[in-house]
Amino acid sequence: MFGYYLRLASRSFRHNPGITALMVLAIALGIAVCVMTLTVYHAMSGNPIWWKNDRLYAVTMDNWDPNHPLNPKSDLPPPEMTYKDTQFLFASNIPERKVVMYSTEGVVSGVGSEPAAQIGTRVTTADFFVMFEAPFLYGNGWSAGADRPPQPLIVLSRRENEKLFAGANSVGRTLRWNDHEFRVIGVLNDWFPRPRFYDLNGGSFALPDDAYIPYGWGSELQLLNKEENDCWRPEKLDTYQDFEASDCVWQQMWVELPDAASRERFQSLVDAYWAEQRKAGRFERPKNNRLTNVAGWLRDNEVVNNDNRVLVGLAFAFLALCLINTVGLLLAKFLNGAAVTGIRRALGASRQQIFAQLLIEVGLLSALGALLGLALAALGLAAVRHMYAAAHLGERGGYQELMHFDVVGVAWAVILAVAATLAAGLYPAWRIGRLSPAVYLKSQ
Amino acid sequence: MLEMHDVSKIYRTDLIETYALRRFSLQVSPGEFVAITGPSGSGKTTFLNVAGLLEEFDSGRYLLEEKDVRTLSDDERSRLRNERIGFIFQSFNLIPDLDVYDNVEVPLRYRRLSGADRRERIGSALELVGLASRAKHMPAQLSGGQQQRVAIARAIAGDPAFLLADEPTGNLDSLMSRQVMDLLEQINEMGTTILLVTHDPELARRAQRNVHLVDGQISDFRAYEPRAAVAGAMDAAGAARA
């Protein structure tokens, strides 16, 4: 009977093209708005390295002003740490991998006729690339030995490599970074972790840096964090060494701990270090030493803000509105065809058969609505992408990259369309099936 | 066998109750041709709807082929309607966007017959009503008489035991009416029980029995002389009018 019902449904659509088009459009609009909002929400709230969620931990300690917390609304410690604290913890062998890092600016020059340009550069220890699974197009990262004393090695982003070397394999080529000669050791492939979980400073969806240099260059070239250098205590900060010795927070630390045991051991180490430092007069606030996994880190830093949640709510409310309209139109359509339903009932169709026939019609309608909704959502996302591309000419990544369909978004669309429209069609189909056939025949 | 005992059907509004059938009793034997007559509002159509399981009744007992229809589920009633009862309506009630073939096919679809079986039954039914060559026509392309013949083909394609006809000639001219009545007689002769609702006493006389209804109750039973004599009389009357 399924094929027969499908044929009846397509006949019914041809018989009532206006009302059918209106219903498909109503469903499609609701679906499109929902898919667009969910796609963005999913991308924004997604954990881009979920498979390592219980291995990667951001390390934080609360060394802030004992009288004034960093953030009065939460009990979170500062997201960055002091130089001296990171140095102590980095010396530990408990983590399988460990990264201390910050983002700075540097001027690149000395490549052909390319004019000197300032680029975002990450000063980081060697494990960064393996730990965060940054993919390489050419070459690779440096080894831990190159961190200190720092070797003149640099890893470029694909975008920077295209700019400087026209996309060619530049491994082994040299360039000048802040007037020091560096040798390219690797070029990253496209890599846009969304959100940029490992460093949320400068925007949760900021692009990754264009260059990466060994950590030791920070002290060597006296480089500061370009985004966050927060201090609370009046201190003598005349020299870079003063800054490194201060209670200012400006470096991020992540560790990879493969199991609960190593996590506990590292937590104990942090706590012991905290206790020792507290005895020495630091860490005057209550103990608040945290190892936060990626999901917790994104949550603590409110990567998905309330506006996004409200937007998702509004999108669903809009879908509900579209579906309520669809229910009305379906009722009108089914009642308009009630005489034919009556004839079918008189000729032996049971309520169940009428219900099935109408539900298949609704299902076909929902499939059409979903297809059109997907097309509209694709158009909408393309428009947003185009808008961002125009605003960030020549750039890749960032918000533009959010605006792509993903499998989850499409699956949502299909599930939403079918479930929502079927749910919307249940009442009209049930209601028509319940009426006595004689009532329809009288209306003929 | 169709048996109704003290069947009542009441239509209710907030203000009044109207008896469409009042303690109505009737027995129809297999193969009978019964005409139901009566003035407008006498309950003829209600009787046919109740008899055809299209409408519930309020009290009394109705046995159709020895089954108490009040005990049947919607599925069972639908199956009974589909397999044992054929309907013919005054306004034909063809489905406008299905062609002749597809219209006749509707009840067979619900019976889940195979494609070959459906084709054979539809072919025979259309052959019987003389419309085999119009299978691909849409209802709107047919005359009233042809549409009613399609409706008859649809009613008999499933080989029902009962044929319920509600004013089947009400929208037809006299020539078409005669053709339709001839067909019904032919079908009755093949063993199908026919219940015919009509205003027309002449048509009623072509049945074997006439049940006259007034206010939902039987006011008169009348058995007629053999059908051939009635048909002959009608032919003579027709010739005189011509």
Residue A409 has pLDDT above 80, yes or no: no
- What percentage of chain B has pLDDT greater than the value 90? 56
Give pLDDT, residue B172.
Answer: 79
For residue B232, is pLDDT > 50? no
pLDDT tens per residue, range B171-224: 778 888 888 888 899 999 999 999 999 888 888 888 999 999 998 888 877 666
3-class DSSP state of B110: helix
Domain boundaries, chain B: 2-94+162-241
Spatial contact of B101 and B132, defined as CB atoms under 8 Å apart: no
* Separation in Å, CA A392 to CA A41, A121, A192, A389, B146: 21, 19, 15, 5, 72
Are the Cβ atoms of B106 and A15 closer than 8 angstroms? no
The mean per-residue pLDDT over the stretch A154-183 comes to 95
Buried b or exposed e, range A336-374, using 16+ CB within 10 angstroms: ebbbbbbbbbbbbbbbebbbbbbbbbbbbbbbbbbbbbb
Specify the higher pLDDT residue, A68 or A270: A270
User: Does A87 score more than 70 pLDDT?
Assistant: yes
Cβ–Cβ gap A348/B110 under 8 Å: yes
pLDDT of residue A437: 77
**Per-residue pLDDT at A216 exceeds 90:** yes
C-beta atoms of B78 and A353 within 8 A? yes
| DSSP sequence for A322-352 | HHHHHHHHHHHHHHHTHHHHHHHHHTT--HH
- Mutation site for B-interface testing, chosen from A8, A336, A347 by largest number of B Cβ within 10 Å: A347
CA distance B75 to chain A (A): 5
Q: A402 versus A362: which is more confidently predicted?
A: A362
Residue A167 has pLDDT above 80, yes or no: yes
Q: pLDDT at position A393, please?
A: 47
Task: For residue range B95-146, list pLDDT tens digits in order.
Answer: 998 999 999 999 999 998 898 999 999 999 999 888 999 999 999 999 988 9
CB B160 within 8 A of CB B192: yes
Q: Is residue A410 predicted with pLDDT exceeding 80?
A: no
Structural element, H or E, at residue A288: none
Dump pLDDT digits (tens) for A24-44. 999 899 888 888 887 777 766
Own/partner pairs, A48-54, CB within 8 angstroms, 24+ separation: A48/A193, A48/A194, A48/A195, A48/A197, A49/A132, A49/A133, A49/A193, A49/A197, A49/A294, A50/A294, A50/A295, A52/A133, A52/A256, A52/A294, A53/A293, A53/A294, A53/A295, A54/A293
pLDDT given at position B83? 93
* pLDDT value for A41: 76
DSSP state of A307: H
Tell me the nearest-neighbour CA distance from B157 into chain A, angstroms: 11
Instruction: State the average pLDDT over residues A396-416.
Output: 60
The span from the CA of B117 to the CA of B104, in Å, is 13
Angle at CA of residue B165, ends B162 and B171, nearest 5°: 160
Determine the residue of chain A that is closest to B111 in CA distance: A348
Chain A residues inside the 8 Å CB shell of B74: 350-352
- Residue B104: the pLDDT is 95
What pTM value is reported for the model? 0.64
ipTM score above 0.95: no
Distance (Å, whole) CA B50 – CA B24: 11
A18 close to A24: Cβ distance less than 8 angstroms: no
B107 lies within 8 A of chain A by CB: yes
For chain A, list residues whose CB is within 8 angstroms of any CB belonging to chain B: 1, 4, 11, 14-15, 339-340, 343-353, 436-438, 441, 444
Partnered with residue A155 across adjacent β-strands are A186, A212
Q: Return the residue of A nearest to B90 by Cα.
A: A444
> Which residue would you say has higher pLDDT here, B13 or B50?
B50
Average pLDDT over chain A reads 87
Model pLDDT, residue B179: 85
Write out pLDDT tens, residues A307-365. 777 888 888 888 888 888 888 888 888 888 888 888 999 999 988 898 899 889 988 98
Chain B residue nearest residue A348, CA to CA: B82
Out of A345, A352, A438, whose CB is closest to B75?
Answer: A352
CATH architecture assigned to B2-94+162-241: 3-Layer(aba) Sandwich (3.40)
CB-based contact, B168 to chain A, within 8 Å: no
Interface check for B84 against chain A (CB to CB < 8 A): the answer is no
Phi/psi-derived region of residue A211, left when phi > 0, alpha when psi is between -120 and 50, beta in every other case:
beta
Alpha-carbon span A210 to A187, nearest angstrom: 10
Q: Which long-range contacts (CB under 8 A, 24 or more apart) does A307-313 make?
A: A308/A40, A308/A41, A308/A44, A308/A45, A309/A41, A311/A37, A311/A41, A312/A37, A312/A38, A312/A41
Each domain of chain A, given as residue ranges in start order, spans: 2-47+305-443, 62-288
Which pLDDT does position B225 carry in this prediction?
Answer: 55
**Is A397's pLDDT higher than 50?**
no
Which of A350, A352, A444 is opposite residue B93, by nearest beta carbon?
Answer: A444
Task: Select from A15, A348, A444 the Cβ nearest to the Cβ of B81.
Answer: A348
Nearest CB among B75, B93, B97 relative to A11 is that of B97
Q: Which of B188, B176, B169 is nearest to B86 (CA)?
A: B188
Please report, as a single letter, which amino acid is at residue A415. I
Instruction: Give the type of residue at A272.
Output: A
